[in-house]
Amino acid sequence: MPTTSHSPPTSGERLSWKPILHHDLPASLVVFLIAIPLSLGIAAASGAPLIAGLVAAVIGGVVAGALGGSTLQVSGPAAGLTVIVAELVQQFGWAATAAITCAAGLLQIVLGVTRIGRWALSLSPAVVHGMLAGIGITIAVQQLHVVLGGTAQSSLIANITALPAQLVAHHGHSVAAGVLTVAVVLAWPRIPKAKAIPAPLVAVVAVTALAAVAMPDVARVDLPDDPLRSLILPAMPDGTPLEIATAVLTIALVASVESLLSAVAVDKLHRGPRSNLDRELIGQGAANAVSGALGGMPVTGVIVRSSTNVAAGARTRASAIMHGLWIAAFVLAAGSMLELIPMAALAGVLLVTGLRLVQLAHIRTLRRHDELLVYVVTALGVGVLGLAEGVLLGLVLALLRVLYRLARATVTATEVDGVWVVRIRGALVFLGVASLVRTLRSIPAGAAVRVELTVDHLDHAAQEAIEDWRRGHVARGGSVEVCRAGSDEAPLRALLAKLAAEGQQPAHLFITCADSRIVPTMITTSGPGDQFCVRNIGNLVPPKGSNSSSVDAAIEYAVDVLGVRSIVVCGHSSCGAAAAALAADVPEGSGLENWLRHLEPSVRRALALPDIVDPATGVPLSAADKLSVANVAVQLENLRSFPSVRRAETEGRLELIGLWFDIGAATARLVLDRAPYLVRADAELSKIRSSGTASAIATNPSSQ
């Protein structure tokens, strides 16, 4: 699938100079300006040498940026490890802590090689967005103190408690510098054609220049005088093997979890390729091994710098790498220039960045899916208790809610005209079997029974319990009729009633083939109302002006009226339209021949491509299937011939996604316009599933 104008390339894609110069270079400068004071502050709070924080920032940017699996994640010293590092410094000393960091990095590499990183994709979106919101609120309140010219406290509660006194205090120039920075950051993007230069960079440069001539008393960045001489190289820890192993394991696990959570969260901030979490663990491990060997602090993926990197317009991993190089160069050669920057200006940038992590769109979507409580609890937990504790609290709550929904079944038994009617409603799984059996055993022996299953899920344990009871009841002279005809009617009626009340609000336009074997809701496991679906022979999108008024109208209605967030073009294996186009035996002058002429550009594209290999079997696709894959990419290009599509995509309101469904394997693949042409589509399908207007009735396509 052709990448959109705002999508960064995949980790294996060759980097070109144009996006690096136009986007990554200015973004790296913005992240660099933020990373310097953050790295110094985290080092000071951890009891580590200040240079150790800078070393970690350089290594995190260069090593993790180059080797990691997240294209836009920025790594460096993290606030989430401050307490742990401080305890290790107090227990072992800094040299030993550096050695522990190095060993923890090697352990992370082992974890990455064993491929456990992908488990982070199982996190509930409510937990991830809640984590972002909690971090954002914590940062905003913390940096508000610095904007006001004061000093941030160690926790969210302490910062909120101290805020009233800070508001009435008078700090003169610091307040002016901070407020002016916030104003420039918010106002700059509203200026026509000004978006080419990131607002944070403009704000910091402008306020620094103003402070140099008009704000002599403002607090500024403070760097060590001789950075290299303050390096402390690692030494073996003096402690028991258990103590050392515990320290290594703690650093490795916390750093890994924070990096993976950050990578998953960053993926939700941009429309580019998703992170390879196993490779990200390997990259983070390599960075920690090198940082510890050079006397640096532990490294993790950091959401503040990463979200700033995305917001500043970064397109490739070059931004993270360059930000590390800028830190090294400026600290060694031009530290005095950095010391001109007011701390309040940097705090103003962070204040806006933190507030932007709390997105109303996420809140509305989670509320619609009844997951707002998980979001709120996670956000409050992260802010009040800490990152790991808050995320754990959110995960526990999300799991409890899933168990509650699975166990929420109503079983009633009533006698109607001599027949006992057992009604089972909801989701009946093993957790509700005990209640089910109690109700069934209350029915008199020998009675005629009608079991009405009005359920949206019935697991094996529940089915076996009903069947065991049925056999026993029949053996005792009774009769049992199990009725499943209306099993989905009640939940479906309730869902459709909810959709009718809310109005039609599909989030996606799904363009696919008219083949009866293609069921869009099965592929995406979405509910009714989530998709606006268009089906035709060959899933074609004739270019604008091709006199295909029906398809034109559907696209323009979906984009301009419904405001869909994505358009999915889905081809499939064994496509009859592709086979007909290659066979060229369609009756001349027929309507089908006229329609299949729109496939000619796809035929030319397919002929120019090398073999396309099935990623599951490693076998090249047939000529028809190869044409079907190429056709998806061509139709995505045709979509951009519509002005409304181009405009929405350019403004970041619309994403174009290409899928290819293997009917035999019941697997959807993402279509790329480069080798490999077919890759896993987990992230794209997850986005479609998680952002619809209705919850899916079924969540496992293979079970249908």
Annotated binding-site members: 513, 515, 572, 575
Q: How is residue 620 annotated by DSSP?
A: B
Nearest to 302 by CA among 285, 314, 284: 284
The half-sphere exposure of 223 on its side-chain side, counting CA atoms within 13 A, is 22
Nearest to 456 by CA among 397, 398, 527, 520: 527
Non-local CB neighbours of 609 within 8 Å, separated by 6+ positions? 626, 630, 677
Q: Give the Cα separation of 234 and 231 in Å (integer).
A: 10
- Residue ranges of alpha helices (H) inside 312-359 are 318-333, 335-338, 343-356
How is residue 207 written in tokens?
């306020």
How is residue 704 written in tokens?
């249908």
Cis geometry, peptide bond prior to residue 342 (ω within 30 degrees of 0) = no
- The sheet with strand 479-483 has its strands ordered as 409-416, 419-428, 448-458, 479-483
What does each C-alpha distance from 622 to 335, 577, 604, 617, 669 come to in angstroms?
A: 61, 14, 16, 13, 16
Q: How is residue 607 annotated by DSSP?
A: H
Query: Do 80 and 386 touch, CB atoms closer than 8 A?
Result: yes
Q: Give the Cα separation of 633 and 67 in Å (integer).
A: 29
Q: Give the Cα separation of 307 and 319 in Å (integer).
A: 12
**Burial of 13 from C-beta contacts in 10 A (0-12 / 13-18 / 19+):** middle
SS3 content of the chain, % helix, strand, coil (to 5): 60, 10, 30
What does each C-alpha distance from 619 to 359, 570, 571, 611, 615 come to in angstroms?
A: 44, 21, 19, 9, 8
CA geometry: angle 353, 354, 356, nearest 5 deg = 65
Phi, psi of 187 (to 5 degrees): -90, -30
Annotated binding site for Zn(2+): 513, 515, 572, 575
**Strands, E, within 505-583: which ranges?**
508-513, 531-536, 566-572
Query: Do 74 and 281 touch, CB atoms closer than 8 A?
Result: no
Query: Do 5 and 649 touch, CB atoms closer than 8 A?
Result: yes
Pairing relationship of beta strands 508-513 and 566-572 according to DSSP bridges = parallel
Nearest to 66 by CA among 290, 303, 293: 290
What does each C-alpha distance from 416 to 419, 445, 473 come to in angstroms?
A: 5, 16, 18
Pairing relationship of beta strands 419-428 and 409-416 according to DSSP bridges = antiparallel
Q: Give the Cα separation of 507 and 340 in Å (integer).
A: 48
Q: Give the Cα separation of 38 and 135 in Å (integer).
A: 15
How is residue 198 written in tokens?
């990131």
Non-local CB neighbours of 302 within 8 Å, separated by 6+ positions? 38, 60, 74, 75, 76, 77, 78, 262
Q: Give the Cα separation of 292 and 278 in Å (integer).
A: 21
Query: Do 139 and 41 touch, CB atoms closer than 8 A?
Result: no
How is residue 317 written in tokens?
């991993």
How is residue 553 written in tokens?
């109208």
Amino acid at site 145 = H
Q: Give the Cα separation of 73 and 307 in Å (integer).
A: 8
Q: Which residues pair with 661 in a beta bridge?
A: 572, 668
